[in-house]
Structure 1
């Protein structure tokens, strides 16, 4: 269905076009109001008769109207199941390999970077911080691989603002480069909880395409599969419109006290621990980091791209 802008874009005269646009917009609002009142009356009538209300209209969003993507994974895709059974992360998901992460920074880290490092070490009990000491990423990756590390994380900053994250799976890759934004440390989160050294549970949401699945498995390989449920800590990577939102929570169970305690169910809620940040994939490279290496995927500006096309 054509939009009001599309219906009026052919009018050359700007004043006439604006008047026509205003008329159509006014008519659209009146029709929407009539439809809303009709739905409210039908719902009230059904409630008075003890019937189920009519189904609500599904609101259109960028997610449920996304463009068709042939790389989206179907649940019964046998070929994809065979591929992931032999990929670089198979030994981790088969519990044949225990994650061990080397965490480092750019050459001259700021105070903010060290505060973030301290909180990431709480999120990743299997991580160890090493000072960069002027070595190139390729040298650091070689050093980490020789000492049994399974992943390398390099944090970058510009003008004392953390703005990038490089993640390398060792010893054979892949390498993912992310833009990091919207960083909030625990001290900036009101009512935050304190982290413990328990291994957190991991939740991965909406990594639906082939590239998304590889990125999701790469991020999941940072965490131990033997989660310490006693700690009740959860690390979540939620992908929405190719933005990956990271959150670190503890879930709490609250029992009602008093005379009504037996009748009231046990309540559950989340308390954020921190840090929180957003990742945006810039590139995915086959193998260990190399400026001349094979690129599996790279974000490119395209005139044909629409807001409803997503890579992950």
Structure 2
């Protein structure tokens, strides 16, 4: 079983490496093509291979794969590694395990119980003395799709880690302004219906990536579900709200059932928690970069625009 998991992981990384190489080559071809069409100077880092790529552009067929790499309308025709990560999304309901850091406080235990009710098909696991590799192996053996770890600081939940199984990605969020259900007066019972999801202001490439990580934690809801969960992005802080609604005299009445908190993404790793040290960093928050040259270099290196909002 361990050998099989290692082999599947190597195959996944090999596919992703080839995909990244093809996207990099296609990006260079697109830049050269735009320079030739607009009759502008070719960038210095492309001049050595400009003739080589230009000859290839002349004989290329604009099929679905090339259109996908170029970001055309048929871009969905090409399956990439992210499609591999969520290939069963919407077909099978997610199966989630939630745990905490070691020796959790009573308040953190209470918050994890509330999180378990938010995510359908979720179950809570006592961390105990288990190592992370043991937990990951148990999750893979039981077909768990997502593994969530909640951390705290002096009894206040302050960090949320979402690890998608079996190969990643792993997203790290800071958590603030936590208000638990137990702190809201006259709170109602929590519905166990599959919720409808609202995502507001997730427009950039990073925003779509973050939205997918959060969206696929929930199964597909039924049309008559009266439960709504909202993720609203404002200045890179994602506000979480949880409501139920009903119709009274043809008017819609909403009631908050909690909990409520804010999340901020600070890192995405292309791996799981048991091999996070060797995993590549897909994106990382770097808020203290004052020079545009450093921001431009790192954005080209990581493939993201560092100064973009979600």
100-109 vs 286-295, which deviates more?
286-295
Distance in 2 between the 1:184 and 1:132 partners?
A: 23
Match of 1:299 among 253, 272, 285: 285
Aligned residue runs from structure 1 range 1-312, under 5 A: 78-79=74-75, 82=78, 86-93=83-90, 95=91, 97-225=92-220, 227-255=221-249, 266-289=250-273, 290-300=276-286, 301-304=288-291, 309-312=307-310
Native 8 Å contact 1:124 1:222 kept in 2: yes
Number of aligned positions between the proteins: 224
What TM-score, normalized to structure 2? Answer: 0.66
Q: Deviations over 1:144-182 (max 9, x none)?
A: 111110000000012111110110000111000110111
SS of 2:83's equivalent?
coil
SS of 1:119's equivalent?
helix
Tell me which protein shows more helix as a share of its residues. Answer: 2
Distance in 2 between the 1:229 and 1:80 partners?
A: 26
How has the CA–CA distance of structure 1 residues 81 and 153 changed in structure 2, closer, same or farther, with 3 Å as cutoff?
farther
Unaligned runs of 5+ in 1: 1-74, 256-265
100-109 vs 203-212, which deviates more?
203-212
Q: Which protein shows a greater Rg?
A: 1
* Structure 1 position 237, deviation (Å): 1.3
How has the CA–CA distance of structure 1 residues 81 and 118 changed in structure 2, closer, same or farther, with 3 Å as cutoff?
farther
Distance in 2 between the 1:102 and 1:244 partners?
A: 22
83-92 vs 163-172, which deviates more?
83-92
How has the CA–CA distance of structure 1 residues 76 and 188 changed in structure 2, closer, same or farther, with 3 Å as cutoff?
farther
* Structure 1 position 285, deviation (Å): 0.6
Distance in 2 between the 1:138 and 1:204 partners?
A: 33
How has the CA–CA distance of structure 1 residues 211 and 139 changed in structure 2, closer, same or farther, with 3 Å as cutoff?
farther
Distance in 2 between the 1:276 and 1:270 partners?
A: 15
How has the CA–CA distance of structure 1 residues 83 and 280 changed in structure 2, closer, same or farther, with 3 Å as cutoff?
farther
Distance in 2 between the 1:229 and 1:182 partners?
A: 32
SS of 1:193's equivalent?
coil
* Structure 1 position 277, deviation (Å): 0.7
Distance in 2 between the 1:193 and 1:224 partners?
A: 23
SS of 2:85's equivalent?
coil
* Structure 1 position 104, deviation (Å): 0.5
Native 8 Å contact 1:162 1:181 kept in 2: yes
How has the CA–CA distance of structure 1 residues 284 and 80 changed in structure 2, closer, same or farther, with 3 Å as cutoff?
farther
Indicate the structure whose relative CO is greater, using CA pairs within 8 Å and at least 6 residues apart: 1
What TM-score, normalized to structure 1? Answer: 0.66
